[in-house]
Amino acid sequence: MVRMRGLPPILNSLGLLAVSGLLTAAFAVQVVIGELPCPLCLLQRAGFIVIGLGFLLNLLFGIDPAHYSVSLLGALSGALVAGRQILIHIAPGSAGFGSPVLGLHLYTWAFIGYCATVLAVAMMMALPHDNHDDPWWDAPGWMRGAAWVFAVLVIGNLASTLLQCGFGACAADPVHYDWIELLRRP
């Protein structure tokens, strides 16, 4: 079997797995702990999805600065949303939104993740790469698996958001899934 060569495809696959891990953790907080994401939280998830999309494009179509730009735009827009949420809850006496993890709220961790992504992508862009990598379908199984896990998580996030918000605006302080509540009404 022909293998994708070089460090950039490996780093893009690892980046995709990292994004998938963050999306999985967000789902765990949502499903296991029962804390529904606020509208700003959903936008932060979207930022991570855009980051992953840039990595996925690199895996599918070869390493390209334009694909890295997609990841950078996702990281920068997500950082702006997370930064806004930090500023909303930074006032003295504010309890913040959601439960803290290791002393910080998830939006603070998201901000840190976005900043780390900008640094990581900048370093990845500086690596030499061969745009004549082997086709994606000849990539090692774990790289293809990373892409499929990410795709399933994106679909899951879209479905979850649709269940929570429907086609309208999401509640500022969500306590239930709008579409599930509609089905429960007599």
pLDDT in tens, 96-154: 776 777 878 888 999 999 999 999 999 999 887 765 555 566 667 888 888 899 999 99
Which pLDDT score is estimated for 1? 30
Tens digits of residue pLDDT in 76-103: 999 999 999 889 888 777 777 767 778 7
Q: How many domains does the chain have?
A: 1
| Domain membership of residue 85 as a residue range | 7-184
Tens digits of residue pLDDT in 13-57: 999 999 999 999 888 888 888 888 888 889 999 999 999 999 999
Question: Could you tell me if residue 91 is inside a domain?
Answer: yes
Question: Could you tell me if residue 1 is inside a domain?
Answer: no
Question: Is the pLDDT at 3 greater than 60, yes or no?
Answer: no
Question: Could you tell me if residue 121 is inside a domain?
Answer: yes
Which pLDDT score is estimated for 162? 84
Q: What is the CATH number of the domain that holds 164?
A: 1.20.1550
Question: Could you tell me if residue 61 is inside a domain?
Answer: yes
How is the chain classified by DSSP, letter by letter?
-----SHHHHHHHHHHHHHHHHHHHHHHIIIII--PPPHHHHHHHHHHHHHHHHHHHHHHH---HHHHHHHHHHHHHHHHHHHHHHHHT-STT---SS--BTTB-HHHHHHHHHHHHHHHHHHHHHS---TTPPPGGGS-HHHHHHHHHHHHHHHHHHHHHHHHHTTSPPPSS--S-HHHHHHH--
| Choice among 116-120, 165-169, 170-174 with the minimum mean pLDDT | 170-174
Question: Is the pLDDT at 180 greater than 80, yes or no?
Answer: no
Question: Could you tell me if residue 162 is inside a domain?
Answer: yes
**17-34: burial string, b at 16+ Cβ within 10 Å, e else:** bbbbebbeebbebbeeee
Question: Could you tell me if residue 76 is inside a domain?
Answer: yes
Give the Cβ contact number of residue 10 at 10 Å: 15
Question: Could you tell me if residue 128 is inside a domain?
Answer: yes
Which pLDDT score is estimated for 92? 78
Question: Is the pLDDT at 72 greater than 90, yes or no?
Answer: yes
Question: Could you tell me if residue 2 is inside a domain?
Answer: no
